Amino acid sequence: MQERIAQTVATRTRDEWTAVFEGSDACVTPVLGLAEAPLDAHNVARGAFAQSGGAWQPQCAPRFVDYGGESA
């Protein structure tokens, strides 16, 4: 079974598989390279990376937002 899955996955590129699943409710996401991840639209929207000293650095997760409310 593992070999059959590997053969099927090898029939398309990562970007082609991404296009196949785009817009579906399948839990599928591409594995991005270190140079790609900071520029991905999802990561940009979430502020997942920041530049420090000219290099991209992942931000801490989770990040908590202070809405000015009182702590419990």
d(CA 42, CA 56): 16
Query: pTM of whole model > 0.75?
Result: no
Domain spans of the chain, in order of start: 1-30, 32-61
Q: Are 29 and 43 in contact (CB under 8 A)?
A: no
CATH topology classification for 32-61:
Wheat Germ Agglutinin (Isolectin 2); domain 1 (3.30.60)
Provide the β-strand partners of residue 44: none
Place 2 in a pLDDT band, splitting at 50, 70 and 90: very high
**Structure confidence at residue 27 (pLDDT):** 92
